[in-house]
Structure 1
Amino acid sequence: MDTRSQNVDVPGDLGARVRHRRTALGLSTSEVAQRTGMSTRRIERIETRPVILTGGELVRLSRALDTTITELFAPLQHQWTRRTALTPEPVLEPMRRDECVKLIESGGVARIAYNRAGDLTVIPVNYCYVNDLIIFRTAADSAVAQFDLAPIAFELDRVDEGMHDGWSVLVNGMVRPATNEEIESALNRVEPWAGGTRETYVAIEPHRISGRRIRSW
């Protein structure tokens, strides 16, 4: 079957890779648009947000950037990450609270850090974000399930080692058992990967949300 006519759900990090490759080649968005037969606005949209592309668009884009579709999706090769005059130094930027919340809202896997018997404990959790609360499930006899209004830190990040890009979001707040209403809102939205019975819902009330982003373009 010819996949060029099919739509492909493209992850948001492809845009950063396209921009990185375009910059390394010294091309403008209008030049890439001309090479692909797309509009400049379309190229700019691909570089700045998740999009759905056709297979044909992916083929034209890879050819325009003198690369392959596999390389656009796979970790960058070493020659892409060498610093050149066309590759700016990485920049560390603080993120606004609304940017951080947008990243948290997607759910998934993050880490929590809390004090357990005088030691700092860090564990991964599956979570969802509901009504300004971070909610996850755990075993009823777990240490974190016993906490009520105790301080906790929540950390979420994403890193592209090939491009030296990434971001990190940190939430400081209080952890407590979720209420029945909160449990109802979170039903079917968070599923722990770990085995065993994990039917205790725990909520984090954020007091401070901050984040940083590092860009190499």
Structure 2
Amino acid sequence: MDTRTAGGPSSLGTRIRHRRQALGLSTTEVAERTGLSTDRIRHIENRPSALTAAELVRLAHALDSTVEDLAGPQQPSAPHEPPLAPVLQPMRRGECITLIAAGTVGRIAYTGADEVVVIPVNYCYRDGLIIFRTAADSAVAQYDLAPIAFELDHFDEGMQDGWSVLVNGLVRPATDLETESLQGHLTSWAGGTRDTHMVIEPHRTTGRRIRSW
């Protein structure tokens, strides 16, 4: 696949740079994710470049994107590329926070009356806290400084890779000030009367990423 132009970076390089910047990643971080050198990432972003199919696949995974989104209508073919092997990697806390801040739907897990409950929630990340809405008579609304877990993930079944972030902490009712600050920024897909805001105070944030190389 050759996306070179006569002057500056190729359209592919521009899309890669914009996606990296949108995720708040440095060229060094993308290099670590892909196994490419930092100089190679900078060259791809800023100069006319011809990428191998393997490089494009690695970049798509590293940027939580797809080959189609990065490359546009033309898709690379790689009949001679070796098969990809999965690698499980821990994620740094900063990377986990970036993914949480960019999301809107996650899962909470807590101990109910006689069993563990796991449910999806719409949430908002604000000032280091995870805030979600629930019904006033729900079990989790009765919690006050009780243990809770929050999980966020993304998977590509076709490529058999993805990432998962886990937050362990305590849940409590939101203060009036915290509730007021979220007006218009947190909507529950489930509808109904869900006017009780709950706050998760993270104590531990971890993540893992599995990717094919």
Q: CA RMSD in A?
A: 3.2
* Residue 12 of structure 2, aligned match among 43, 51, 59: 43
TM-score between both structures, scaled by the size of structure 2:
0.68
- Which residue does the alignment assign to 1:56? none
Q: How many angstroms does 1:94 deviate by?
A: 0.5
Conservation of the 8 A alpha-carbon contact between 1:33 and 1:39: no
Deviates more, 1:182-191 or 1:141-150: 182-191
Please state if 1:205 is matched with 2:201: yes
1:109 to 100, 105, 121: 105
Q: Report the AA paired with residue 199 of structure 1.
A: D
- Name the residue aligned to 1:33: 3
**Inter-partner Cα distance in structure 1 for 2:149 and 2:80:** 38
Matched, 1:195 2:191: yes
Q: For residues 1-217 of structure 1, what are the structure 2 equivalents within 5 Å?
A: 32-34=2-4, 43-44=12-13, 46-47=15-16, 50=19, 72=68, 85-217=81-213
Going from structure 1 to structure 2, the CA distance change for 1:83 and 1:214 (only over 3 Å counts) comes to farther
Gap regions ≥5 residues in structure 2: 21-51, 54-66, 70-75
Asked whether the equivalents of residues 90 and 214 of structure 1 are also in contact (C-alpha less than 8 Å), the reply is: yes
- 1:46 aligned partner, one-letter code: R
Are 1:114 and 1:122, in contact at CA under 8 Å, matched by a contact in 2?
Answer: yes
Give the length in aligned residue pairs. Answer: 166
CA separation in 1, counterparts of 2:86 and 2:135? Answer: 42
Measured after TM superposition, the shift of residue 140 of structure 1 is 0.4
Q: 1-side partners of 2:164 and 2:211: how far apart?
A: 12
Partners in 1 of 2:80 and 2:129 — Cα distance?
44
Identity, in percent, stands at: 56
How much does 1:91 deviate? 1.0
Q: Which digits, 9 at most, give the CA deviation of each residue in 1:81-115, with x for residues without a partner?
A: x9975333011110000000000001311000000
Q: Which amino acid in 1 is paired with 2:19?
A: P
In structure 1, stretches of 5+ residues that fail to align are: 1-26, 52-63, 66-70, 74-79
Q: 1:182 to 1:83 in 2, by over 3 A?
A: farther
Contact 1:95-1:210 within 8 A present in 2 as well: yes
Structure 1 residues 212 and 108, CA, compared in 2 at 3 Å: closer, same or farther? same
| Equivalent residue letter for 2:149 | A
Which TM-score applies when normalising by structure 1? 0.67
Partner SS, residue 140 of structure 1: coil
Checking the alignment, whether the CA contact within 8 Å between 1:91 and 1:216 is kept in structure 2 is yes
